Amino acid sequence: MQPLPLRAAQDMIRLLNQPVYRNQNFKLWLSYFEIYGGKLYDLLSDRRHLLMREDGKKQVCIVGLQEFEVSDVQVVREYIERGNAARSTGSTGANEESSRSHAILQLAVKKHIIVTETRRQRDRDANEAKNTKAVGKISFIDLAGSERGADTTDNDRQTRIEGAEINKSLLALKECIRALDNDQIHIPFRGSKLTEVLRDSFVGNSRTVMISCISPNAGSCEHTLNTLRYATGLKVFQRVATQERSSLLHQLFLP
């Protein structure tokens, strides 16, 4: 069975290859990064440190994040495997190999627009420049699991610090969703890098789905209960989209 991101990429590529969209210069772009210790790293560019900025429209921009144009599912698979291999992992009392970061895989549809401008320099020749316009984006976020103090008691200081940072970011996410559900004026997106990155997944023209993973192992009972409680608090959240959707956006992301 194909992982969810691959299945999504396959559907998106198939749709973009239809004549009605192919002739309009729609392209699919992929990026993959992680949030580790409150910092951002590009998983497809030698774990280069990334900076996060907010533009004039209060949109979060990740400076330096490398994007790759993709048109084949096998290429998408290779990028995902490459990113997974670069992701931060470590051993805890609960797992021999545990994710120590939140990983964000993004597939963005952009339309390439040819803009013809008349140059007013010495030659005054017509100059063609390519611009791109974002149409839609789907993000797959693999959240690191919350950790109890008992899971990291026997680990070194660095592992305990990582666990505390993971729990802090998950709590910040929960607080943001609670504030949105209560229609609060101030939403604490700046509580962590995770919530800042996910801001556009909860406001405006977006939809969000959370999949919770639990274990049937009796030894994981407390983790399972905590996960179910967390998910229960999120499933009641409702948000109304505020922007109109294009027909392509509807077909790609909102079936």
Phi, then psi, of 110 in degrees rounded to 5: -130, 145
Asked if 150 contacts 93 with a C-beta cutoff of 8 angstroms, the reply is yes
Which residues neighbour 114 within 8 Å (Cβ) at sequence distance 6 or greater? Answer: 25, 128, 129, 130, 131
> How many other C-beta atoms lie within 10 A of the C-beta of residue 54?
12
Q: Where are the domains of the chain?
A: 4-253
Kindly report the CATH number that applies to the domain delimited by 4-253. 3.40.850.10
pLDDT by position in tens, the chain (length 255): 678 999 999 999 999 999 888 888 889 999 999 999 999 999 999 999 999 998 877 788 999 999 999 999 999 999 999 999 999 876 555 555 667 899 999 999 998 776 555 444 444 443 444 566 778 899 999 998 776 655 555 567 788 888 889 989 999 998 998 898 888 889 999 999 999 999 988 887 888 888 888 888 888 888 889 888 888 877 766 655 455 445 555 555 544
CA 147 – CA 96 distance, rounded (Å): 14
CB distance 16 to 109 below 8 Å: yes
* Residue in this structure with the two tokens 């440190």, named with its chain if needed: 49
